[in-house]
Chain A
Amino acid sequence: MSGSTGRRSTLPGFGLTMGLTLTWLSVIILIPLAGLFLKTLELSPDQFWDILSSRRTLNALKISFGLAFAAALVNLVMGTVIVWALVRYRFPGRRIFDAIVDIPFALPTAVAGIALTSLFAQKGWLGAPLAELGIKVAFTPTGIFIAMIFIGIPFVVRTVQPVLIDLDVEIEEAAASLGASRLNTVFRVILPSLIPALLTGFALAFARAVGEYGSVIFIAGNLPNVSEIAPLLIVIRLSEFRYADATAIAVVMLVASFLIIFAVNRIQRWAQMRIPAH
């Protein structure tokens, strides 16, 4: 992994900057996180297991991870469609739509939460017509799903977009001139070269949705076992003074997010090696 450029640097300051980086990283990230793990160590394995296997905890984790996965899948598909439209086609307002893709990223989650809630509440602009159809969104698990889709949109679009722009047109032309149908070219030639970016975008959207709190709690019904997400359960346990429960759930989520981020960086390394250095 290291020495990919194989060049030894003669620049000064490595020791100092690396020292500062590690110190600051430790103070802000590592020590606080270590405190969390230390707190869980106060639990016996049995206690730890009891907390995690309680019905309410399991359901909260299931809701957070399950809905986040489903939302990330929707984002994967819709994100690809959006990227395709933005990169390959010309239509009025394209630049504006390109810019607003980032809104879920820039809009504070609490604002997104109350906005989505009033939009999808029974009297809301979208909630009212949906209610006529017998579909309830706000204060149901569907609401959580909607909020998670909202916050995940930019991740897939922004990771896939640059790759699609840079994609060598010659390969497509070659495929076409060899007689491949358009459908075949898209699915056999273009999409495979987008796979690392798609995976990265999916993983980032998933990670974000799993831990999401602000935009979800307003629109979720917060019913235990039905529409209660894991981060909310942490907050509830904390206010019940059940620190052990809160930390045990937090540790599980933390390990999951670390695995996801590590996977993302691996995918990116892999993608860099797949494509010859530019």
Chain B
Amino acid sequence: MSELQISPGSVRDDLRTEPRLVRGIIIAIALIFLTVFVVLPLVVVFAQAFSRGIGAYVAALSDPEALSAIRLTLCVAAISVSLNLVFGLVAAWAIAKFDFRGKTFLISLIDLPFSVSPVISGLVFVLLFGAQGYWGPWLQSHNVHVLFAVPGIALATIFVTFPFVARALIPLMQEQGTQEEEAAISLGASGLQTFFRVTLPNIKWGVLYGVLLSNARAMGEFGAVSVVSGHIRGETNTMPLLVEILYNEYQFVSSFAIASLLALLALITLVAKTILERHLDEGQLPRGD
């Protein structure tokens, strides 16, 4: 926000910013681009969802298949987010609070799911758990179903949301250093006490931030889940998969109705994210110079 402090009217001001016309053009380009590429697609979702009135919209969402997809999506998100939360806290502690060789490499590995194609994230689990895969036959003979069932969907979702919490926490905890924790330890606190009483309060907004982002991705994942789901209606279809199925069945209103729920989730995520970012900025202020 430092640019607010420019003193108006000084001679240098003209040299420190662009001419009015240029400014106008740049703002116009930015806004038109964002409107076409970001705002319009979002508006289209809601416009299509309500194109046959609110009755059709409500009917689409109260369909048993829709309800089951919503339930499954919530369930899978809860599993994957909570597991990744624990992992994120543990990994961030190890990586941010200690120095060791190969740190960049380890962070790269954690980041990997960010850039792996979602399709590949699903494919790897087919190769492991498919009846023709490495462990599939053994699992089948023990009556354990991973692929085409909730565990497979959860695994694929955990894979794609793997980095979010850890990556939100590592820079934050690195910046905060280790002095407070060391002081607590030297005063006789145990490791766990230190973590819960000293570290966690310092990073709570960062934790929420990571949870928020990984939740958004978990609920919206399409490619990876599509490969491992088996598309059993009312059982292994998540909301994004149902969006595709309904779309292919020419039920556009229903498809966009489900899509509008996901879009709403995205909007809520953004609002919450903006609020959290404000808290995160504030949290860092006292630490600044």
Residues of A within 8 A of B (CB): 1-5, 7-14, 17-18, 20-21, 24-25, 28-33, 35-36, 38-39, 78, 81-82, 84-89, 91, 97, 99-104, 106-116, 118-119, 124-126, 146, 149-150, 153, 165, 169, 172-173, 176-177, 182, 185, 204, 207-208, 210-214, 218, 230-232, 234-235, 238, 243, 246-247, 250, 253-254, 257-258, 260-262, 264-266, 269, 278
A85 to B289, CA, bound (A): 28
Q: How many residues of B contact A (CB 8 A)?
A: 107
Chain B residues whose CB sits within 8 angstroms of the CB of A35 once the complex forms? 124, 127-128, 133-134
Instruction: Evaluate whether A110 and B36 lie within 8 angstroms (CB atoms) in the complex, with A88-B17, A172-B16 already known.
Output: no
Residues of B within 8 A of A (CB): 1-3, 12, 15-19, 23, 26-27, 29-31, 33-34, 36-42, 44-45, 48, 87, 90-91, 93-95, 97-120, 123-128, 132-134, 155, 158-159, 162, 178, 181-182, 185-186, 191, 194-195, 216, 219-223, 226-227, 239-241, 243-244, 247, 252, 255-256, 259, 262-263, 265-267, 269-271, 273-274, 289
Inter-subunit contact A213/B15 (CB<8 Å) = no
Chain A residues whose CB sits within 8 angstroms of the CB of B186 once the complex forms? 10
Task: From the candidates B29, B95, B108, B115, name the one contacting A207 in the complex (CB within 8 A).
Answer: B115
Identify the closest chain B residue to A169 (Cβ): B2
Chain B residues whose CB sits within 8 angstroms of the CB of A3 once the complex forms? 99
For chain B, what secondary structure do more than half of its interface residues adopt (helix, strand, loop), or is it mixed?
A: helix
Inter-subunit contact A257/B112 (CB<8 Å) = yes
Q: Tally of A-B residue pairs with Cβ under 8 A?
A: 320
A–B pairs, 16, beta carbons within 8 Å: A5-B99, A7-B99, A9-B97, A9-B99, A20-B90, A78-B33, A81-B29, A88-B17, A100-B34, A107-B266, A115-B41, A115-B44, A165-B1, A207-B114, A235-B226, A265-B108
CB distance from A38 to the nearest CB of B (A): 8
Chain A residues whose CB sits within 8 angstroms of the CB of B252 once the complex forms? 118
